[in-house]
Amino acid sequence: MDIINMDKNRIIVFDTTLRDGEQSPGCSMNTEEKIKVALQLEKLGVDVIEAGFAAASPGDFDAVSRIAEQVKNSSICSLSRAIDNDIKQSGLAVEKAAKHRIHTFIATSPIHMKYKLKMSEEEVIKRAIHAVEYARTFVDDVEFSLEDAGRSEIPFMKEVMDAVISAGASTINLPDTVGYRLPHELAAMVKELSDFAANRAIISVHNHNDLGLSTANTLAAVMNGARQIEVTMNGLGERAGNSALEEAVMAIKTRKDAFGELYTGINTAELYPTSRLVATITGVEPQQNKAIVGKNAFAHESGIHQDGVLKHQETYEIMKPEDVGVFKDSTLILGKHSGRAAFRDKIEHLGFDKVSDEELNSAFERFKILADKKKDVTDDDIRMLITDEALNQDKTYELVGLQISDCSNGMPMAAVSIKHNDSIMKDANIGEGTMDAIFKTIDRLTGIKGNLQSYNVTSVTEGKDALAKVTTRVTFDEDTPSFVGHGLSIDTMLATAKAYLGSVNSYHSQKERLSKNKEHQV
């Protein structure tokens, strides 16, 4: 990366949804889901995608390497500790990317060096130099993070920065790892270290939200010299989360009076579609009043506000909903008599321009069934049908039929039919409840026993005929993380069965793929 000739007004957007965001409790994703998120982040215009921690597991390595092969316009980055094997696995994982980066780190705060690393300042500097030099044998673009920079001493940080820049690091990240700093404190630190780095490296910030200040801190840093922001969609991340991409980007775009000529390369009309995809895959919905992408972000309840917006939009809206990809239902109304062409036009209007013919045909058939059952099929319904179809492409086991029975004093029972290898398997079982009976029957039919970790059901739209979206998180063995499954149906129990079977399919698919690809050993 040419630091000297870089556009000084361009803010590099480094998205870590697939790494730090995935560390949110209950937010783990399988490889296929990570690929779909990565491709959407590329469409969004993200400059750098931190695809994961390649050395963490064979599954993580597989995800990073497959993303590296498929994403062309964004740089693909893998995180690694300042340890040779971590760096090697990162280098191998991003090897096939059109643009690639290794992000390595070591803690620099007194508390971390004393209690976690048990290393002296001299040892930390030596380790940091070696990490950057070794990373440079795999890639030209190396980022170095001073972990817990928010609680580190500035003189020592300058020593580390000098050392790693000389070793070949082109980006220096100053993470507020525990979300400790106030905006004016972080601004002062970034200003001093940005001036110190001058044209030798890009200064980056990675802020956590433990005190609810992550986005404020990110913006304060940008105003004081930071030219890369590390963010996540919907603000996902460890503990209270990270600075939200959509908030930081829209603040820079909306407040030109404050940020002047500073800009990002983000296609803001893709913010809402990206938010919806991440929420659907993780099963973690943004709170209703979440800035930019929340359900109520552009809702006006007050009569005074409604009157003002109707007279002139800018009276109560500082940005247009369309700017972030929130569009009112189009005039093209879909119903049970609608054809395939109208359906395709609708999904393209909603931003789904890369839907395969197979996905389109399958979603269209599901739409026709839904239209027979629902009075009004909304844009949210259509959006969810397409997303669900994309998330459930792996159909090793496919639900064919479900029959349940339950009563207050009887035994809950489930009869399930599953298609596998062109044959139909049928079985029935009783359980402690209807869901338990469904899961036990699926376990017996597939021969794969799962342990339900979490279960979530939400309504896609309002009304008694609303689609139920069910998300399950299931573990199957001690060697792999939990797997998320997605189910969609007007009938909640049917959606539940589909979601659980989706978790089974994800587990089966990843286990098969990794068994065929054993060249990576952590």
pLDDT tens digits, one per residue of 464-517:
778 899 989 899 988 777 888 899 999 999 999 999 999 999 888 877 777 666
Task: Check whether 301 has a pLDDT greater than 50.
Answer: no
* Residues 6 or more apart whose Cβ sits within 8 Å of residue 379: 327, 329, 330, 346, 350
Provide the pLDDT for residue 311.
56
- Taking all residues of the chain, what is their mean pLDDT, rounded to a whole number? 89
Residue 287 per-residue DSSP state = P
How far apart, in whole angstroms, are the C-alpha atoms of residue 377 and residue 379?
Answer: 7
Q: Which of 208, 263, 212, 181 is nearest to 8 (CA)?
A: 263
Looking at per-residue pLDDT, the higher value among 128 and 331 belongs to: 128
**Backbone φ and ψ of 10, nearest 5°:** -85, 125
What DSSP letter does each residue of 459-483 carry, written as one string? ESSSSTTPPEEEEEEEE--TTS--E
pLDDT for position 302: 43
What pLDDT does residue 406 have? 79
- Read off the pLDDT of residues 390-409 as tens digits, 9 standing for 90 and up: 777 778 999 999 999 877 67
pLDDT of residue 517: 60
- Asked if the model's pLDDT at residue 306 lies above 50, the reply is no
pLDDT band for 307, please (50, 70, 90 cuts). low
Residue 304, pLDDT score = 44
Please state the pTM of the whole predicted model.
0.86
Interatomic CA distance for residues 203 and 151, integer angstroms: 17
Both tokens assigned to 146:
């001073």
CA–CA distance, 190 with 277 (Å, rounded to integer):
33
CB 244 within 8 A of CB 292: yes
- Give CA–CA dist 124/120, Å, rounded: 6
The helix/strand/coil state of 366 is: helix
Containing 195, the helix (H) or strand (E) segment is helix 183-197
Residues paired with 469 in a beta bridge = 458, 488
Residue 288 region by backbone torsions, left for phi larger than 0, else alpha for psi between -120 and 50, else beta: alpha
Report percent pLDDT > 90 for the chain: 64
Burial group, residue 135, by CB count within 10 angstroms (0-12, 13-18, 19+): buried
Name the most confidently modeled range: 52-61, 67-76, 278-287: 67-76
pLDDT, position 29: 82
Beta-bridge partner residues of 105: 81, 145
Q: Kindly state the helix (H) or strand (E) to which residue 430 belongs, with its residue range.
A: strand 423-430
Residue linked to tokens 């009976």: 437
- Residue 305's nearest CA partner among 286, 318, 322 is 318
pLDDT class of 446 with cuts at 50, 70, 90: very high
The CA distances from residue 210 to 231, 242, 310, 510, in Å, are 15, 9, 38, 34
Say yes or no to pLDDT of 230 above 90. yes
Lowest mean pLDDT among 89-98, 166-175, 337-346: 337-346
Render pLDDT for 6-26 as a digit per residue (tens, 0 to 9): 789 999 999 999 999 877 766
Average pLDDT rounded to a whole number, residues 117-139: 97
Q: Are the beta carbons of 249 and 268 closer than 8 angstroms?
A: yes
pLDDT at 329 over 70: no
Q: Greater confidence, 370 or 399? A: 399
Question: What is the phi/psi pair of residue 45, to 5°?
Answer: 100, 20
**Per-residue pLDDT band at 120 (split at 50, 70, 90):** very high
Amino acid 360: pLDDT: 84
- Report how far residue 463's alpha carbon sits from residue 414's, in angstroms, rounded to the nearest whole number: 27
Across the range 57-65, mean pLDDT stands at 91
Over range 267-291, report the average pLDDT: 91
The CA radius of gyration of the chain, in Å to the nearest whole number, is 25
Indicate the helix (H) or strand (E) that contains 102.
strand 100-107
φ, ψ of residue 22 to 5 degrees: the values are -70, -20
Report the C-alpha gap between 357 and 360 in whole angstroms: 5
**pLDDT (mean) for 346-364:** 81
- Which pLDDT does position 521 carry in this prediction? 42
End-to-end CA distance of the chain: 30
Nearest to 94 by CA among 123, 55, 150: 55
| pLDDT of the residue at 216 | 98
What value does the mean pLDDT take over residues 347-358? Answer: 78
* Residue 300: pLDDT band with limits 50, 70, 90: very low
